[in-house]
Amino acid sequence: MLRLDGVSKVYKVGTFGGKELRAVRDVTFDVKDGEVVSLIGESGSGKTTIGKMILRLLSVASGTISIDGVDISTFKGEALKEFYRKVQGVFQDPFSSFNPIFKADKMFQVLREEFYPDMEGRDWDKKVDDSLKCVGLNPDHVLHKFPHQLSGGQLQRFLISRACLLEINLLVADEIISMLDASTRIDVLNLLADLKSGGLSILFITHDLSLAYYISERAIILQRGRVVEMGSSEKVFQNPLHPYTRMLMASVPRLDKRWEGVEQQLGHGAQPSEMAGGPAGGDTPGGEPELVEAEPDHFVAIAG
């Protein structure tokens, strides 16, 4: 239902935009109906940029993003609103997602004005109640309260309830649980999984491999704006082929086994991925890598 084709994003930085920073390079992938796909990358990988481009919060430099076959960059006005009836997003910081001077449920008011202006009061109240219950919130506990009176977990669920209210098809979830406590994280994660079984597609953006493995069917590994490995979660995690993916899998702290010895990963100085102001923007020598199908539903980028 969602498809990215050769999408790139270039930022102009420096005085008067002299230099170029390629945040996203030639990314192609798709998300099918009712599927949870994880977009995995560390800071600087471009994952948030991709999320924002899908949500039309940032423009695409080249390539196309399409929903059900239609290029989303063509949407304006009413068409854009229709788009937002199908696609919504939830972000990392629940407290930053709410305007601190208004009550949390003002959000519903806005949605009503923009999307359901003609709905009757009682019908609307029921709709709000239903969408709160859909995310496991008790309307009596969370309505008419200010954001600082609710917990991070409640606020994130509040935001997810927008998805239930608008009956969307695709949710872009950008690091939505990284700022929550461990004991609430799993509940929000389970909620996403429940919504998925109701038919919702989810693009789960994260840096945390354990979360990605828990919830997604397919995984996409991003490094510096490029897709380096992609495929079913089983295959990508159990049999990582790209050196970057291998490095990630070896470094992630697990609860079932210990890291293999003290590896001499750091040479004298720093790893290439660590160098400040490293080649984030430069082109790789030797041509652009291509995604090659190593086995069914498992693609790896090989330097071309």
Site for other proteins in 124-143 (CB under 8 A): none
**Window 222-241: residues binding other proteins (CB under 8 A):** 233, 237
Report if residue 186 touches other proteins, rule: CB under 8 A: yes
Nearer to other proteins, 100 or 287 (CB): 100
C-alpha to C-alpha distance for 29 and 25, rounded to whole angstroms = 12
In terms of CB distance, is 28 or 139 closer to other proteins? 139
Report, in Å, the least distance between residue 45 CB and other proteins. 9
Q: In the range 4-43, which residues lie near other proteins by CB under 8 A?
A: 16, 42-43
Among 1, 10, 64, 103, binds other proteins (CB under 8 A): 103
On whether the CB atoms of residues 43 and 245 are closer than 8 A, the answer is no
Query: What is the rounded distance in angstroms from the CA atom of residue 89 to the CA atom of residue 148?
Result: 21
Buried b (16+ CB within 10 A) or exposed e, 80-111: eeebbebbbbbbbebeebbeeeebbbebbeeb
Is 193 a binding residue for other proteins by CB under 8 A? The answer is yes
Q: Hunting for tokens 């309260």 — which residue is that?
A: 145
Instruction: Measure the CA–CA gap between 221 and 229, rounded to whole angstroms.
Output: 5
Q: Nearest distance from residue 63's CB to other proteins, in Å?
A: 22
CB-based burial label for 282 (10 Å; 0-12, 13-18, 19+): exposed
Among 22, 185, 218, 242, binds other proteins (CB under 8 A): 185
Least distance in angstroms from the C-beta of 252 to other proteins: 6
Question: Structure tokens of 209?
Answer: 């491999």
The yes or no reply on residue 102 touching other proteins (CB under 8 A) is: yes
155 binds other proteins (CB under 8 A): no
CB atoms under 10 Å from CB of 115, counted, come to: 14
Residue 266 engages other proteins in binding (rule: CB under 8 A): yes
Q: Cα(290)–Cα(273) distance, rounded to whole angstroms? A: 21
CB nearer to other proteins: give 262 or 286.
Answer: 262
| CB 141 to other proteins: min, Å | 11
* Residue whose CB is less far from other proteins, 182 or 286: 182
